[in-house]
Amino acid sequence: MSTTHTITLNDGNRVPWLAFGTGTALYGKNATDSVRAAIDNGITHLDGAQLYNNEDTLGAGIKASGKSRSDLYIVTKLNKLDPGQTVKESLAISLKKLGVDYVDLFLIHNPLPAIKEGKLKEWWQGMEEAHNGGLAKSIGVSNFRVEDLKEILDGANVIPAVNQIELHPYVWKAAQPIMNLGREHGIVTASYGGQTPLVRAVGGPADRVISTIRERLERTRGKPVSSSQVLTKWILQKGAIVVTTTSKVSRIKEAIDTENVPDLTPEEIHALEAAGSLLHKRAYMAEVFGE
C-alpha cells in the first residue's frame, strides 16, 4: 500500500498528498526508525524542519530505507538566520544533515523572526536564490497570515508554492481567508495538526458530528472507518496536503487508507464546519496569530 494521489503545485511540480512529519512527537528526538517505518509502509513525502533539531536522523532514516532519492519527496523549513548568514547557506547546512543535494520543498517556517528584523521580503528573496540555485525544487511558507503573504507577494519573482498551516474544524474560520488568498495565487495549503479535535479538544462540539459522519461512511464503505480518517478526508476535500506524525505503523496504514474512504457529502462538510465554528482551538503557533 502506498499513497498514489498527488497535488500539482503552481510551479508544475507534483507532491504526494500525505506527508510524514518529524515534528510534534519526534521534535528533538531520533527520527531514524520512524522515518524508515513510514517509507517502508508506503509514505514517500517526508516533512522535516531545522527547528525540529533532527534533520540528521531524518536523513539517516532515508538512507536506511534504501529508497532512491528520485522516489522521495523531501521537505525542510528555514528556522532563522545567523548574523550575516544567507538563506542558501542555511539550506546548505540542512542538505548536509539530510544527506541530499536538494530538497523538493523548502519553506519559511514562521514569519515572526523575519518580521521582527523587518526582513520578510529579504528572506523571500533569499528563498528565491536558493530555488534558482537548484537547492530547492519548490519554495513556500508556513504559518503565514494574509498580511504576511501579501507582503512577500508584492515584488516576488517566484510565487510561494505552498503555505503550511494548522488546519482542522476548530480553526477553519481563521484559516479560510488565508486559504482563499492562497487559492487566488495558486498557493496550495498544506495542513498540520489536523487531528486536534480528537487529541486536544476531546468533548468539543465537533465530536458528535464526527461520530455521525464516521458511522455513515462505514455503512457506505462496508468497512471500518476511523474518526481520524473523517478529519483527514475533510482536509483532503479542501485540496490540502496532509502532514501527520505517528510512532505506530497501524496509524500510518490508516492514514494512507483514507484515499479509499468515500467522500464526505456537502451537508456533512457544512455540519462539521458549523460545529467547528462553536469552538476556536489553536494548538500551535499562537504567538504568530496573536492568541
Query: What's residue 1's pLDDT?
Result: 54
Domains and CATH numbers, the chain: 6-195+240-247 (3.20.20.100)
Arithmetic mean of pLDDT, 223-237? 98
- Residue of 52, 73, 170, 192 marked active site: 52
Query: What's residue 22's pLDDT?
Result: 95
Q: Provide the annotated binding site.
A: 109
What is the band of 66 on the pLDDT scale with cuts at 50, 70, 90?
very high
Arithmetic mean of pLDDT, 168-192? 98
Query: What's residue 32's pLDDT?
Result: 95
Chain centroid offset of residue 97 CA: 21
Query: What's residue 99's pLDDT?
Result: 98
For every residue of 76-143, DSSP letters joined together read EEE----TT--HHHHHHHHHHHHT-S-EEEEEE--SHHHHHTT-HHHHHHHHHHHHHTTSEEEEEEES
Residues with Cβ within 8 Å of residue 199, at least 6 apart in sequence: none
Residue 73 bears catalytic tag: no
If you count DSSP H runs as helices and E runs as strands, how many of each does the chain have, helices first? 12, 10
Query: What's residue 28's pLDDT?
Result: 87
- The radius of gyration of the chain's CA atoms, rounded to the nearest angstrom, is 18
Arithmetic mean of pLDDT, 95-107? 98
Contact 78, 106 (CB under 8 A): yes
Contact 55, 76 (CB under 8 A): yes
Give the CA-trace dihedral at 224, 227, 229, 230, to 10 degrees.
110
- Average pLDDT of the residues of the chain: 96
Query: Above 90 in pLDDT, residue 98?
Result: yes
Query: What's residue 207's pLDDT?
Result: 98
Q: Nearest Cα to 106, choosing from 82, 83, 85, 132?
A: 132
What is the band of 189 on the pLDDT scale with cuts at 50, 70, 90?
very high
Residues with Cβ within 8 Å of residue 232, at least 6 apart in sequence: 194, 242, 244, 255, 258
CA distance 9 to 62: 24
Q: Provide the annotated binding site for substrate.
A: 109
Query: Above 90 in pLDDT, residue 2?
Result: no
Arithmetic mean of pLDDT, 132-159? 98
| Residue-wise pLDDT tens digits, 200-216 | 999 999 999 999 999 99
Query: What's residue 3's pLDDT?
Result: 63
Sole residue written with cell 480518517: 229
Query: What's residue 218's pLDDT?
Result: 98
What percentage of residues in the chain have a pLDDT greater than 70?
A: 99
Local structure of 159: helix, strand or coil: coil
Contact 50, 79 (CB under 8 A): yes
